[in-house]
Structure 1
Amino acid sequence: MDLVGMRAGMTRTLFGGLFDDAALFPPGNATMAEAAPAHHRHQASWYADLVGPFICPDTRLSELDGSIAVSVVVTGGPDAVDKAIRQVADGRLAAVEVSGVGDAAAARQAVGSIPSGTRGFIEVPWGPAQPKMLDNLAGSGCAAKLRTGGTVAAAFPTETQLAEAIIGCVARDLPFKCTAGLHHAIRHTAAGTKLEHHGFLNLLLATDAAIDGASRADVIAVLAERTADVIAYRTRQLDSGHIRATRRRFLSYGTCSILEPLEDLAALGLLTAHDSVQVANAPERPS
């Protein structure tokens, strides 16, 4: 394989399965009639290897047919897990994501509610309870879920909070996923809402930095970086070992648009020119 081919393969590995399909969630708020067919199109596309499972809240499972691999967001806490997964067709349960877990005891209960062999994500809150909850998840077989945004400013963790969570997960060898707010590759201020959004490439690079033993201040600086050329350059410098180590920790994130992150990567030159042409011809995002 030539150098270009090797680099393209490493890029696909870096972004493989990174983008979970959260089309049902804000701010996209697609209907099931829009989101489910769009997911099938994503899975049949040239970028299918970059797309994770379809994320569906337990309150909407009755709207979903049995042909989609689904990650179920359990909104009623650990006690509601069993009822939720019984609604998923055989062989179609990709993961279980439990929200409403407020303390270490609830985290232990949530871990125990995940069926053996099923990928489990336990959402951990921001604040003083987080380190103890990460302790409880470490070695449990479940991963952490970090909320990185929302529709109001208070839903977004600061760079410091996010850096501490990433460092905490890495120190415990605890995989994690993120949810909400990661609409684009680079840290930015949203034009319409003026909300401060983290960038998914910033998170990947911050995870890599934490694995390499970077200081808290350096991890914060990576999360705060807004210069596209700097982020793109640092991403290109990741070798295969760093990519594998980073993705073993940062598993995926939920995005209400699959196409927006692909368009960002193409604009940064992190997908091949051929792929960046095809982004324009990809399935349209449900409106």
Structure 2
Amino acid sequence: MSVPPGLLAALVDDAGLFPPTSLPMDRAVERHRADAEADAAMHTHRFLVPASRVGEVRRLLREGEVFALGLIADRGAGNLAAAGAEIAADPRLRLALVEAPLAAFGEEEASALQALLAELKDVPDHVPLYAEPVGRARPEPLLTELARRAGARPLGAKLRCGGVRADLFPGTGEVAGFVTACVAAGVPFKATAGLHEAVRHTSAATGFTHHGYLNLLLATAVAASGGDRHAVRDVLETEDAAELVRLAERLTAEEAVAARRALVSYGSCSTAAPVREALRLFGPALRPTS
């Protein structure tokens, strides 16, 4: 058996500028170029960049090359609009998506989302926006607003799965609640932070327990197939790699598509580790055919 071909394709955004890797801009750009040449199927080839650092990217780009940017709001109101205009003015840049923490735009979901959308009024309508909830443990108010405002611009949610402190790692119950709520609302989501390895594990370096990207992906598949929060949580808590491989290989092509319709991609500060992990678990089935 083999994993459905669409399950892992275009899953990993390049978040090399962000902790814990925090590459200097010149090294991050060079790594992104190298990844583009290698053309790993798991990479989206989107370069995630804080809105305040777009100018740094521009200074390093070569004539004729194009970087697809995921623009990350890092300074709240006023910053996104200026960064969007800067990207639009440079033919070497293409704005692929926008991500923003709603808490930077207000304390209440509806008004914060309205303020965020106002920042994007000059950004083309086809560019998706992924908003991180104000209250991490209660995604429903945001999902209600996103579903209500669904229209010309694709709207989704953002799930933070880790960070540089233990308190930034949500528990499996919290993640299960987020995933099932997104699927129930028909709102796609992106994930970020802490998902370098495929399988749930405790880091020897930090002592933090990390969610695995394969756990998250398969838990999303369970939710998209009608599984309840408890079933989703069970998959998130699985630390047996062989069991996760079996679950992945049992998925039909249609179930894989449904999972990826819900979980769009995730940002990883390492672009090599996710590919290496997938090859370790699934072997030649994931290698390029040409």
State the TM-score bracket (shorter-chain normalisation). 0.7 to 0.9
Task: Say if 1:273 and 1:241 are closer, same or farther in 2 by CA, change over 3 A.
Answer: closer
The answer for the alignment partner of 2:99 in structure 1 is 97
How far the C-alpha of 1:103 sits from its partner, in A, is 2.6
Q: Does 1:58 align with 2:51?
A: yes
How far apart, in 2, do the equivalents of 1:70 and 1:113 lie? 17
Q: Output one character per residue of 1:123-159: Cα deviation in whole Å (capped at 9) or x when no partner.
A: 1244465311111112523111111100111001100
Task: Say if 1:137 and 1:52 are closer, same or farther in 2 by CA, change over 3 A.
Answer: farther
Q: Output one character per residue of 1:160-188: Cα deviation in whole Å (capped at 9) or x when no partner.
A: 00000000100010000001011100010
Task: Say if 1:48 and 1:235 are closer, same or farther in 2 by CA, change over 3 A.
Answer: closer
The answer for the alignment partner of 1:193 in structure 2 is 206
Structure 1: gaps (5+ residues): 279-287
The answer for the alignment partner of 1:162 in structure 2 is 175
Alignment of 1:234-273 (within 5 A): 234-269=247-282, 271-272=284-285
Q: Does 1:87 align with 2:96?
A: no
Task: Say if 1:268 and 1:128 are closer, same or farther in 2 by CA, change over 3 A.
Answer: closer
Q: Does 1:132 align with 2:141?
A: yes
Task: Say if 1:16 and 1:146 are closer, same or farther in 2 by CA, change over 3 A.
Answer: same
Q: Does 1:76 align with 2:75?
A: yes
How far apart, in 1, do the equivalents of 2:189 and 2:286 lie? 31
The answer for the alignment partner of 2:186 in structure 1 is 173
Further displaced range: 179-188 or 59-68: 59-68
Q: Is the 8 A contact 1:21 1:257 kept in 2?
A: yes
How far the C-alpha of 1:48 sits from its partner, in A, is 5.0
Tell me the percent identity: 32
Q: Is the 8 A contact 2:14 2:45 kept in 1?
A: yes
How far apart, in 2, do the equivalents of 1:173 and 1:180 lie? 23
Q: Is the 8 A contact 1:232 1:270 kept in 2?
A: no
Q: Is the 8 A contact 2:180 2:228 kept in 1?
A: no
How far apart, in 2, do the equivalents of 1:137 and 1:56 lie? 23
How far the C-alpha of 1:77 sits from its partner, in A, is 2.6
Alignment of 1:212-223 (within 5 A): 212-223=225-236
The answer for the alignment partner of 1:113 in structure 2 is 119
Task: Say if 1:142 and 1:202 are closer, same or farther in 2 by CA, change over 3 A.
Answer: same
The answer for the alignment partner of 1:225 in structure 2 is 238
The answer for the alignment partner of 1:37 in structure 2 is 30
How far apart, in 2, do the equivalents of 1:162 and 1:138 lie? 20
Letter paired with 2:51: D
Task: Say if 1:256 and 1:169 are closer, same or farther in 2 by CA, change over 3 A.
Answer: same
The answer for the alignment partner of 1:210 in structure 2 is 223
Task: Say if 1:37 and 1:173 are closer, same or farther in 2 by CA, change over 3 A.
Answer: same
Task: Say if 1:206 and 1:177 are closer, same or farther in 2 by CA, change over 3 A.
Answer: same
Q: Output one character per residue of 1:195-227: Cα deviation in whole Å (capped at 9) or x when no partner.
A: 010000111111111112212111111100000
- TM, length-normalised to structure 2: 0.86
The answer for the alignment partner of 1:123 in structure 2 is 132
How far apart, in 2, do the equivalents of 1:273 and 1:62 lie? 36
